[in-house]
Structure 1
C-alpha cells in the first residue's frame, strides 16, 4: 500500500476568509497525520498553525497581463461552444460581451462560431497559454519545497493560474475543489486541466463532464463542507434567547433579508425599504420585524436609511475588518458567526433574497424562501436586472424545484411573504428537493469526505 511519508502537498487558498471551517488546525493535523507535509499558500493572517509539518506562505496576487486577458477572451468568448449542455449562463455572458466588444463580437459571429467545437483551436490556445505565460513568480517556492501534489480550493481564481501553469510544466498532479454551485458554468475556464475535481452534487458533476469535458472518474462528490455546521443541532438556541440576543421582539415574526454583493443587484436597498414599509404599514397578517443580514462583501452604508429604525435588526457576518479588503471582504467571520447564521436561518419565519446560495442554506432548515425577481422601480437593462439570475444555469434547478417563490412585483412580494407567515409548510417538499439536489448529504460530514478525497488523491498519485 502506498503511503505519504515524506510527500509534500501544496494547498492554495486564493480567498481564504471563508475556509476556516475546512482548512483549520484540526484538519491540517489530519492531513499531516497521514504522512503529508503541508505548504499552505494563502492570504496574510488567514490562518496560524503550530504544526511543525505545516509551512504557511503568502499568496502573491499577480494581475493578469493584457495578453493573458486576450487569450482568455478567445478561449471563453470568441471560440466558446454554446451548444454544450449547461450553457445558459455562458450565452447570457456572451450576449453582454457582444454589446461591449463590437469588434470581438464580429469575429466571434463570423469565425468563432465556425470553430467553437474544434479541438485543434482549443489545442492551439492551450499551446499559446503554455508558451506565453511561464509565470516564474513561484519558481523559488517550488524549488525550496518541491511539492508532490497540489490542492487548490478555488481554481477559477486568476491568482491561481501561475501556480497551475507551473504544476503543468512540472507534471505535478492537481486536485481542485469547486467551492460554489455556480463556478463551473459562470467562471472562465481554467487554462490548465486539473487531474481531478471535487464538487458538491450530481448536477455539478454533470456540468464538469458535459460543459468542461472532464471524465466521470475524474469528478467526485463531497457534499457541501461549508454547510456542515448547519447539521450541528447543539448550536441551535431557543427562539426567545435568539431574539433577546438580537434585541428584537419575541412577539413578532422575523422577516430575514439576506443581501448579496452590490454587483448582484442595483435595487436591493429599495427592495429592503419596500419590505420595511410593508411592516410599518401593517400589510401582513402578523406583526413582523425585519432582520437585515449583510453579505460579507457588502457595506452597511448601502442600507443606512434603515439605521435605528423601529422593527429593524441589523446583523453583520462577523466584525468589520480590512484584512481581506483586496478580496472585497468587508467583514471577517469566525465560528461564532457561523453559529449565528445557523440560528438565524432556523428561527427566521421567511427568508428573502435575490438569488444567492443562502437560498439553499435556508432550505436546510425548511425555512420558506422568497426570491426577488424584479428591480423595484428601476428601469434596468437585462444584464443589470435581477431577472438574469433566474436564467443562469446553476439556478435553473431552484426555479424548477417549486421550492421557492419568485416575486415579480411588489404586490407578489407582499402576498408571498404573507402566505408563508400563515402557512410555513407550503413548498416544503420543494425545499427538501433542493437540499437533495444541491447538498447531496445532510450528515455534517462533507468536510471529512473532502479530507479523505485529498488523502486518497495523494496516495493514488504517489510514485
Structure 2
C-alpha cells in the first residue's frame, strides 16, 4: 500500500522548491501518494492539478506572535553569550512602538527577553508557544483534517512560519512523524527555527553541524543531509535557451555582453539603487574604451519600492530590466508566488550574463553553477547617514564565515576601483569561480542535482 505524504506549505516560500520542481514527480516514482497540505492562497489543484487539502483557518493564538518574537531575541542573546560574539543580535530588526497594540506587544517582547534570556527562560517560552497553539482553533481544525486523511508523514517545507506550529503539533499529537526543511543557507544562525519536528532536512554537512550547534533539541540521527531542490534547475540543460532566442525574447542587444545586477531587498541593502548606478557609470566608461556592454537588472522579488526608477530611467541606454516571473496572490511578502517559468528565466540569466554583481546575495551560488564569478560591493555610499543600515554589516554575518577563502567571491571595496575590476573580469584576468565552487560545495553539498531524490530517499527511510 502506498504511503501518503502531506507536503505541508505553511506559506508561499516552499512552492518554488516543492511544487514547481521535479520534487513531486520524483516522489511518485518512489511510490508515494503525495498530497499538498496547503496553507497558502495559491491553489495547487486549480493551477497544477495536484492533490491538495486546503487549510482555511489561519488563526494564531493572540500571544503566539509575541512569544515567537521573544524566542528569536532570547536565542540570539544566548548565542552571543555562549559563543562570545556580538554579531548574532545584528540579525534582529528594530521593534515598532507606534500605536497602542504594536507598542504593547513590543513591550511584552522586551519584558520576556529581559527576564528570559537564559536556558530556563528559553525553554519556558518554547513550552508556552506550544501551549498557546494547542489552545488555538487552528490546532483542532488541522487535527480533524489529519484524522480524516490519515497521512503517514508530514513534511513541512520551511521551518520559520508561525502558521506551521499548530498543524505540526496536531500531527505529532496524533503520532504522525514530522519533518521540516531548512529553506535557506543563512537561517540557522539567525534563530528562525520556530517549528520543532521529529526530523530535519538540511542542505549539507555544514548545515547539519549548524543545526546541532544552534538547535540542541535536534538529534544527530534525525538530521538528514539532502541538498535543496532550489538549484537543480541550473543543471537542467533543457531549460537553457540559445543566446539569440533569449536575447530576442527579452529585447536585449545581441551585440552586447551583459553584466547581471541582482537587486536586494530594502532591509539588506537600503541604498541598493546607487550601487546599480555605480555599475552603470563603469559600463559607460568601459564602452568609451571600446567595450560593448550592458547591464541586465533582475529585481528582488520582494522589493515593491520605486527606489530604482530614477536610475533605470537615467541609464536606460545601458540597463535592461529582466524581471523575475513571480506574481502576487496576496498583500504580504511571503504571498509573492514564484512560477515554473522563473526557473528557466533565472537559469538563462545566469547562463547568458558575464558575471553577477550585488550586495551579499546568495546569487553567488546560482552563478557559480554556470561557472560565472560574483562581485560583491563592499563600500559605503555618500548617501549613508544615521538611521540607514550600512551594507558592510551583511558580510560580518555568521553565514559568510562559511567561505573557504575570501577569493570565493570578488570584492569591490572602493568605487574608484570598480571599472578596473570589471575590465579584469571581462578580460579573463580575474575570477572567483574556482574558490566559489568550493563554497558552493560547502553550502550545497556534492550532489546538487540529486536533492529531490535524496529527500524522498530520507522519507522512505523514515516511513518505510
Larger displacement relative to structure 2 (299-308 or 348-357): 299-308
Helix, strand or coil: the match of 2:382?
coil
Q: CA deviation at 1:157?
A: 1.0
Per the alignment, residue 132 of structure 1 pairs with 132
Larger displacement relative to structure 2 (298-307 or 155-164): 298-307
Deviation string, structure 1 residues 203-238 (Cα, Å, up to 9, x no partner)? 211110111112221111112211111111233234
Helix, strand or coil: the match of 1:263?
coil
Provide the rounded CA distance (Å) in 1 between the counterparts of 2:418 and 2:432: 16
* TM-score, structure 2 as length reference: 0.84
- Pairing 1:297–2:302 present: yes
Per the alignment, residue 253 of structure 1 pairs with 257
Helix, strand or coil: the match of 1:444?
helix
Q: CA deviation at 1:44?
A: 2.7
Helix, strand or coil: the match of 1:359?
helix
Change (3 A) 1:386 1:234: same
Provide the rounded CA distance (Å) in 1 between the counterparts of 2:253 and 2:463: 53
Q: 2:89 aligns with which of 85, 88, 91?
A: 91
Q: CA deviation at 1:315?
A: 0.5
Per the alignment, residue 395 of structure 1 pairs with 400
Provide the rounded CA distance (Å) in 2 between the counterparts of 1:52 and 1:372: 43
Helix, strand or coil: the match of 2:332?
helix
Where do residues 13-412 of structure 1 align in structure 2 (5 Å cutoff)? 13-16=9-12, 19-20=15-16, 22-23=18-19, 27-28=23-24, 31=27, 34-36=31-33, 38-48=35-45, 54-58=51-55, 60-63=57-60, 65=62, 67-78=63-74, 80-82=77-79, 83-84=81-82, 90-93=88-91, 116=118, 118=119, 120-134=120-134, 135-143=136-144, 144-190=148-194, 192-213=195-216, 214-282=218-286, 286-299=291-304, 301-305=306-310, 306-307=312-313, 309-318=316-325, 321-328=327-334, 332-380=337-385, 384-398=389-403, 400-412=405-417
Q: CA deviation at 1:170?
A: 3.5
Provide the rounded CA distance (Å) in 2 between the counterparts of 1:318 and 1:86: 43
Helix, strand or coil: the match of 1:133?
helix
Q: CA deviation at 1:324?
A: 4.1
Q: CA deviation at 1:387?
A: 1.3
Change (3 A) 1:240 1:146: closer
Q: CA deviation at 1:164?
A: 2.5
Deviation string, structure 1 residues 68-95 (Cα, Å, up to 9, x no partner)? 2343344332464224569775232369
Change (3 A) 1:87 1:129: farther
8 Å contact kept, 1:349–1:367: yes
Q: CA deviation at 1:391?
A: 1.1
Q: CA deviation at 1:280?
A: 2.6
Deviation string, structure 1 residues 407-432 (Cα, Å, up to 9, x no partner)? 23322333322221122652332112
Provide the rounded CA distance (Å) in 2 between the counterparts of 1:449 and 1:125: 34
8 Å contact kept, 1:298–1:329: no
Helix, strand or coil: the match of 1:203?
helix
* TM-score, structure 1 as length reference: 0.84
8 Å contact kept, 2:412–2:421: yes
Q: 1:428 aligns with which of 433, 455, 461?
A: 433
Provide the rounded CA distance (Å) in 2 between the counterparts of 1:171 and 1:398: 40
8 Å contact kept, 1:248–1:311: no
Provide the rounded CA distance (Å) in 1 between the counterparts of 2:300 and 2:392: 20
Q: CA deviation at 1:37?
A: 5.7
8 Å contact kept, 1:40–1:55: yes
8 Å contact kept, 2:8–2:154: yes
Per the alignment, residue 423 of structure 2 pairs with 418
CA RMSD of aligned residues (A): 3.5
Change (3 A) 1:366 1:37: closer
Helix, strand or coil: the match of 1:325?
coil
Provide the rounded CA distance (Å) in 2 between the counterparts of 1:209 and 1:152: 19
Q: CA deviation at 1:356?
A: 1.5
8 Å contact kept, 2:2–2:31: no
Q: CA deviation at 1:338?
A: 1.3
Provide the rounded CA distance (Å) in 2 between the counterparts of 1:7 and 1:397: 38
Helix, strand or coil: the match of 1:414?
helix
Change (3 A) 1:76 1:187: closer
Deviation string, structure 1 residues 229-272 (Cα, Å, up to 9, x no partner)? 11112332343443333322233221110112222211111211
Change (3 A) 1:455 1:53: farther
Provide the rounded CA distance (Å) in 2 between the counterparts of 1:411 and 1:102: 46
8 Å contact kept, 1:278–1:284: no
Deviation string, structure 1 residues 141-161 (Cα, Å, up to 9, x no partner)? 422334442110012112112
